[in-house]
Amino acid sequence: MKKTLLEKIILTVLTILVVLFFMIPIYWLITTSFKFGREAFAIPPKWFVFDFTLKNYYEALTQVKTTRFILNSVIITTGATLLSLVLGVPAGYAIARSRSRLLNISSYFFLLLLMVPPVAMLIPFYLIMRDVQLLGTYAAVIILDTVFDASFVVWMMRSYFSDVPREMEEAALVDGASHLGAFLKVALPLSVPGIVASALYVIIYSWNDFLFALMLTSPKTKTIPLGILASFSAVEIGWGRMAAMSVFAIIPAVIISLFLNRYFVQGLTLGATKG
């Protein structure tokens, strides 16, 4: 049944209102980053007209060393993403193609691992990283992030590879390809949306990680969420500087999401309905 003009108008207006509602915090964050401290919480709030300043961005780049925090976040996020995909994609393929009932049932272990509260894993991993002398390094956070991220990748890619027809891989084997070749040339290309969606999830999770980074990093390896926390002091809370750092923190995630949004939506939709 075709929608009437009135229904389309109502739907459009409701969509715009919902989007605007969820954009209010982002707008508040951006405007606060250009305000002086006294105007950040002025009553009544100054939403549109206020004294404009770039002081917060200058302080964020010169005093708090935001670029270093962002670099640390990039290193940890890149490491966790690559390691999660290298471990999770082949594991998901192996489970999807296995004829063993026990191995297929064991895949639920990865789902169970995702249900474990991260804080429950923190103390054991803290002690382990201390004993192996990795505490305060990038590797400590990358390894712990990978434990959760790779579990998600395995579970999601298992659903994707299960939907890839075995006949296509068998045809490649008949043509002389090895099992590895069939995986790389047939199964992997057909599962690109799932891989991209998994990678984007890992990137967002690792980039926004606060708890693990708080406990496992050192002053030299602090990430951007911890850098934002540094805006708190015993003397004052630099709301404007904190807002400016938050803007720097969300820019990479927004850029990546815009470029990979099509794959992300497709990947999550198919991954949730397959298998």
- Residues 81 and 129: their CA atoms lie apart, in Å, by 20
H-helix segments, the chain:
5-33, 55-62, 66-97, 101-106, 108-115, 118-131, 138-163, 166-174, 179-182, 188-190, 192-208, 211-216, 224-229, 239-273
- Residues in Cβ contact with 144 at an 8 Å cutoff, skipping those fewer than 6 apart: 121, 125, 129, 212, 216
In a domain, 95, yes or no: yes
Q: How far apart are the first and last CA of the chain?
A: 32
Could you give the number of structural domains in the chain? 1
Does residue 18 lie in a domain region?
no
| Residue 19 is assigned to a structural domain of this protein | no
Domain membership flag for residue 9: no
CATH number at residue 69: 1.10.3720.10
Taking a C-beta distance cutoff of 8 angstroms, is the pair 126, 177 a contact? no
Answer for the pair 73, 207: CB distance below 8 angstroms, yes or no: yes
CB atoms within 10 A of CB 205: 17
Instruction: State which residues form the domain around 113.
Output: 54-273
DSSP string for 102-115: HHHHHTHHHHHHHH
Asked if the structure places residue 111 within a domain, the reply is yes
Q: Is residue 112 assigned to a domain?
A: yes
Q: Is residue 131 part of a domain?
A: yes
Instruction: Encode the chain (275 residues) as per-residue pLDDT tens digits.
Output: 456 777 888 888 999 999 889 888 888 888 888 887 677 777 777 777 777 788 888 888 887 788 888 999 999 999 999 999 999 898 888 888 877 777 777 777 777 777 888 888 888 888 888 888 888 889 999 998 898 888 888 888 888 887 777 777 777 777 777 777 777 787 788 888 888 888 888 888 889 888 888 888 888 888 988 888 877 765 667 778 888 888 888 888 788 877 776 665 555 555 444 44
Is 47 within the bounds of a domain? no
